[in-house]
Amino acid sequence: MAVRTGERVSNGVRIANEAAAWMDGHQREFRDILQRVRYLRVRGHAGRLRDRVAAWCCDNGVRVSAKEGVFVDNSLWAAICRYLVLFDPDLMDDPVRMRHSDVDFVGLGEVAWYDFAADAAGEGADAVAR
């Protein structure tokens, strides 16, 4: 378990804000990544998920980063994994295996295009499939 410090909480806030901004601006790309991860699960490709998705992102021109020259930012990927599991809880542990991230100190930000309250009530799953 990571020790909670002011620096780690501040970093968590930064990651959460960057991830929410990425999600807000990249709905199609997130859905593409979600479908890719679901495909990997069905095919039995559980290990090295980040590397597999990063390669797919590079091949398909999908940037999961605000940094120049980086396709998949590790910190941002940690938050995206958490969104993936929120959207499809069946992905937890296989293939999405999460390590601790500083974003865990603060939680994820809201995504403008997705109604998490409806999903919690069982009404949002269809929106993800669209």
Q: What is the pLDDT of residue 128?
A: 46
Residue 121: band (very low, low, confident or very high) from pLDDT cuts 50, 70, 90: low
Interhelix angle 49-60/27-43, rounded to 10 degrees, is 130
Distance of CA 110 to the CA centre of its chain: 13
Residue 70 pLDDT exceeds 90: no
Query: Quick one: DSSP state of residue 93?
Result: T
Q: What is the pLDDT of residue 74?
A: 87
CA distance 5 to 2: 9
Which pair of structure tokens corresponds to residue 129?
């499939």
Q: pLDDT tens-digit profile of 9-56? A: 999 999 999 999 999 999 999 999 999 999 999 998 767 888 999 999
Q: Which residues pair with 64 in a beta bridge?
A: 72
pTM of the model: 0.82
Dihedral through CA 41, CA 47, CA 66, CA 104, nearest 10? 90
